[in-house]
Amino acid sequence: MEQNFSSKLLERAVEEVSNLPGIGRKTALRLVLHLLRQDATQTNALSEALTTLRREVRYCRVCHNISDTETCQICSNPKRDSTTLCVVENVQDIMAIEATNMFNGLYHVLGGVISPMDGIGPSNLHIQSLTERVPKDQVREVILALSPTMEGDTTAYFIYRRLMSLNIPELKVTVIARGVAQNNELQYTDEATLGRALAGRTPFVGN
Amino acid sequence: MEQNFSSKLLERAVEEVSNLPGIGRKTALRLVLHLLRQDATQTNALSEALTTLRREVRYCRVCHNISDTETCQICSNPKRDSTTLCVVENVQDIMAIEATNMFNGLYHVLGGVISPMDGIGPSNLHIQSLTERVPKDQVREVILALSPTMEGDTTAYFIYRRLMSLNIPELKVTVIARGVAQNNELQYTDEATLGRALAGRTPFVGN
């Protein structure tokens, strides 16, 4: 729809908001008009929070997680097991794993996965710092928790080979389990997932 | 999901973005992390556009449309027919009608519809200024283009009675047609719409 804005200021605001991924011009207009109905403090707080974050954002120098301090809260927590590293693609993955309360080690954020189509090679990811960190911090296990996609698998294999080339006999490299998702009905599970769940079956234990 | 943010700055930005209607915390996080991957100029342009609009926004003193000038481009356009007014709920409605290229009159933005449930009565809407404007500008036709909902109908009826009480013999009050939507298959049209389309049938004209 060709939109004729009655105001250049409005048009510019809608333009900027619709630059965000997944936000079309209609949604952008709705959001902007919402802000106009609210008190000005809300718009100012939003703008201020975004610009402050963008200006002052820092990344943990150890794991590359977003952090307000040089070393993030997780890396600097002495109660966490520094000999176990969980390699993830991005910051959201850390949040998802932290929400499970099932992991007490440290993380390593790659910042993406290898994707030749998007021009992302190993050198664009935090892989070098991982291979330096593993021997330095006497890591015993590296858990690869990447997405179960072709790109994720490629990246996992690449990292596995790099870690193996370090020749550390006591280092274990593992991947998170693949199988049927909790509470998903079997009949609706796709073939690849179901096949993999069958192949990876484990002894039954009553719970 | 309980989210543990590794950064207060990040948390605050996500908080503010998720205050927008229809944007949950997961989407907000995705948008904020997107901005962090882009150049800082994008975040700054977005913030600047929003705060500038919020600070400098003005509404046309005649029709209440959003405008950069005291009187909006539509109201101040001498080529438009000032004797025909189209009454709409909001600014998006003006854009939708302008996009049809079928209307050459002026508008009047109510700023909502009567909705006792939301505490919106006639005095919260720009109805008074409408009843002043109609005799002053020698308006001949008022087109009520409100949503076909109970609130829209109530508001239309309220305005109709107010306009009638002005006792202007040459004033016509009309409503936009209701019927089956263009390109919607008849079998999927709801009963109320179809019934109304039947009752409001017009003589067939070949085109």
Predicted ipTM of the assembly: 0.81
Band of the pLDDT at B195, cuts 50, 70, 90? confident
In this complex, is the C-beta atom of B20 within 8 Å of any C-beta atom belonging to chain A?
yes
pLDDT reported for residue B107 = 97
CA dist A80 and A78 (Å) reads 5
pLDDT score recorded for residue A205: 76
Asked if B32 and A3 touch (Cβ cutoff 8 Å), the reply is no
Q: Which residues of A touch B3 (CB under 8 A)?
A: 95, 99
User: Tens digits of per-residue pLDDT, B67-125?
Assistant: 999 999 999 999 999 999 999 999 999 998 998 889 999 999 999 999 999 999 999 99
Kindly indicate the confidence band of residue B164, based on its pLDDT and cuts at 50, 70 and 90. Answer: very high
Q: Is the pLDDT at A207 greater than 60, yes or no?
A: no
pLDDT bin (cut points 50, 70, 90) of residue B202 is confident
A127 touches chain B (CB under 8 A): no
Per DSSP, helices labelled H in B149-188 are 150-164
> Is A201 within 8 Å of chain B by CB?
no
Which residues of A, range 165-184, sit inside 8 Å of B by Cβ?
A: none
- Nearest CA to A107 out of A68, A66, A147 is that of A66
Task: Say yes or no: B115 contacts chain A, CB-CB below 8 A.
Answer: no
Which pLDDT does position B186 carry in this prediction? Answer: 83
Q: Which of B35, B54, B16 is nearest to A23 (CA)?
A: B35
CB contact under 8 Å between A7 and B57, yes or no, is yes
Task: Categorize the per-residue pLDDT at A1 as very low, low, confident or very high, splitting at 50, 70 and 90.
Answer: very low
Does residue B139 surpass a pLDDT of 70? yes
> Residue A69 gets which letter from DSSP?
S
b vs e for A179-192, b when ≥16 Cβ sit within 10 Å of the residue's Cβ?
Answer: ebeeeeeeeeeeee
CA distance A33 to A68: 33
**Position B1 confidence tier, pLDDT thresholds 50, 70, 90:** very low
Torsion of CA A10, A11, A12, A13, to 10 degrees: 50
Mean pLDDT of A91-100: 90
- Say if B7 is an interface residue toward chain A (CB within 8 Å): yes
Contact B8 A68 (CB under 8 A): yes
Query: How many A/B residue pairs have CB atoms within 8 Å?
Result: 178
Residue A3: the pLDDT is 61
Of A84-88, A119-123, A198-202, the poorest mean pLDDT is in A198-202
> What integer pLDDT is reported at residue B207 of this predicted model?
54
Distance from CA of B76 to the nearest CA of A (A): 12
pTM: 0.80
Q: Are the C-beta atoms of residues B98 and B110 closer than 8 Å to each other?
A: no
pLDDT at A206: 63
Q: Assess contact for B166 and B135: CB atoms under 8 A.
A: yes
- Report the mean per-residue pLDDT for chain A: 92
Average pLDDT score over residue span A93-111: 93
Structure confidence at residue A199 (pLDDT): 82
Residue B120: strand pairing partners:
B115
Residue of A nearest to B1 (CA): A99
pLDDT attached to residue B192 = 85
- Report CB contact under 8 Å: A51, B44: yes
Chain B residue numbers touching A66 (CB-CB < 8 A) = 6-7, 10, 36
